[in-house]
Structure 1
Amino acid sequence: MFLLLASIFIALLVVSNIIASKIIMVGNLIGPAAVLCYALTFAISDTIAEIWGKERTKYVVTLGFLASVISAIMIKIAILMPPAPFWQNQQEYKLILGSNIRIVIASMLAYLTSQYHDVWAFHFWKKLTNEKHLWIRNNLSTLVSQMIDTIIFIVVAFYGTGTPLMSIIIGQYTIKLIIAICDTPLVYILVNFVKRYINFEGKYKVTS
């Protein structure tokens, strides 16, 4: 079960990096198409943190970072490989998948900072509440972590380019805020399901 959740976390992260180049509108809010995929990684990491503890969660976060780096390198290699003479979509392929180095650095920096903060904050609130009220640690850790992620990414990626930083930060964070609040039932469902599954297997043990 741990491997399944870790795999889902990494898959969501890698997919979010790939689809991030499309900008979407939700009502009057603007953000990257990756916002849903990436926001769900926090629900998965909070589930892992609740059941397997801090070190296992940090391990998954590190694996996600390595997977992102590898996927970025392989995509870059694919772009640089000469296309077949009959294939006429090289420019479109490069346009969609070829994020510039500044975007990649911003994404990686925001990811590492926000995810490690989320792991720390989740266990901080878990200890402060005597391991009660999962919804408190889930929401407080995720909401702050998502703010950190949004600010770092937007500022590093777009500062000095003439992009309206504050409006994009507000729009992106608002979308993430809504998703974070809505994913609380999902975290409860996942935690309860995993606990029952591991209890059934006779292997369940909570770690701190």
Structure 2
Amino acid sequence: MKSLRTHESIDYKMQLLLATFISCLLLGNLLGSKRIEIFGIVTSVGFFEYPLAFLITDIVVEVKGKEATKIFVNAGFLSLCIAFFFVSLSTGLSPSSTYYDNEAYTSVFSNSLRLIAGSLTAFFISQRYDIWVFSFLKHKTKDRYLWFRTNISTIVSQLIDSIIFMFLAFYRVTPEVNAVYILRMILPLWILKVGFSLLDTPLVYLGVRWLASENEKPGP
């Protein structure tokens, strides 16, 4: 009976993490067309959601392994494909004569379409790389040095994600957003992501201990 309760508890935790993971991906894309400044660095408001998504995959791959984490990545990819389809459908349908905000609606969500398309590519490549690097380092370190593994995998993966996403999502969205402008956005943005990755290291430990409770203990 205790074993059954433990299994149900772990499954419930995985469901919560999966729901949070997918929510971060969808919100990051649907809201991400707005650009803001953080410490003088221009970025998308989607910046807030994606570090959490990488944090979740690091927690899952540490406790449940590479194959379980691929389910998260595949589910996230599918959710973005579904979002792309329905955003395309919604913006393409002719509005009712009683709906007066179609121009604004189309403008906002057409930008989201480009963000989702860019995110689909960046997400799939960077997350697959993140899982591979984390698993490789986990094997090489014999399950030790979680702080090292999570930061190295996330830092490199975030750079890959930033380069692919920024060019696909924002290149020539306005005339001044050329290749040089994008590159100037990527470097400080990546440095900012590195800072957030280092800061959320304690959260990785907490998340691993929470998911691994009554199952297995995380490495030192």
In 1, the alpha carbon distance for the partners of 2:75 and 2:25 equals 10
Partner of 1:168: 185
4+ residue segments displaced more than 6 Å:
none
Given that 2:134 and 2:149 are in contact with CA atoms closer than 8 Å, whether structure 1 keeps it comes out as yes
Aligned length: 200
In 2, the alpha carbon distance for the partners of 1:171 and 1:19 equals 21
**CA apart distance, 1:26:** 0.5
Equivalent residue in structure 2 for 1:81, among 93, 96, 113: 93
In 1, the alpha carbon distance for the partners of 2:30 and 2:24 equals 10
**CA apart distance, 1:74:** 0.9
- Percent same amino acid among aligned pairs? 32
Unpaired runs of 5+ residues, structure 1, are: none
Partner of 2:19: 7
**CA apart distance, 1:178:** 1.8
Partner of 2:7: none
Given that 1:21 and 1:33 are in contact with CA atoms closer than 8 Å, whether structure 2 keeps it comes out as yes
TM-score by length of 1: 0.89
Does 1 or 2 have the higher relative contact order (CA < 8 Å, sep 6+)? 1
Partner of 1:110: 122
1:187 aligns with 2:204: yes
Given that 1:35 and 1:175 are in contact with CA atoms closer than 8 Å, whether structure 2 keeps it comes out as no
| C-alpha distance after superposition, 1:85-138 (max 9, x if no partner) | 232211111111112765443221111110000000111111111101111111
Q: 5 Å matches for 1:92-111?
A: 92-99=104-111, 103-111=115-123
Change in Cα spacing, 1:85 to 1:159, as seen in structure 2 (3 Å) is closer
Q: Which letter maps to 2:209?
A: N
In 1, the alpha carbon distance for the partners of 2:115 and 2:15 equals 29
Output the aligned Cα RMSD. Answer: 1.9
**CA apart distance, 1:79:** 1.6
**CA apart distance, 1:159:** 5.1
Q: Which letter maps to 1:2?
A: M
Unpaired runs of 5+ residues, structure 2, are: 1-12
**CA apart distance, 1:157:** 4.0
**CA apart distance, 1:162:** 2.3
**Paired residue secondary structure (1:34):** helix
Q: Which moved more, 1:167-176 or 1:95-104?
A: 95-104
Q: Which moved more, 1:149-158 or 1:119-128?
A: 149-158
Given that 2:154 and 2:197 are in contact with CA atoms closer than 8 Å, whether structure 1 keeps it comes out as yes
Q: Which letter maps to 1:166?
A: L
In 2, the alpha carbon distance for the partners of 1:157 and 1:97 equals 13
Q: 5 Å matches for 1:32-111?
A: 32-99=44-111, 103-111=115-123
Q: Which moved more, 1:99-108 or 1:2-11?
A: 99-108
**CA apart distance, 1:28:** 1.1
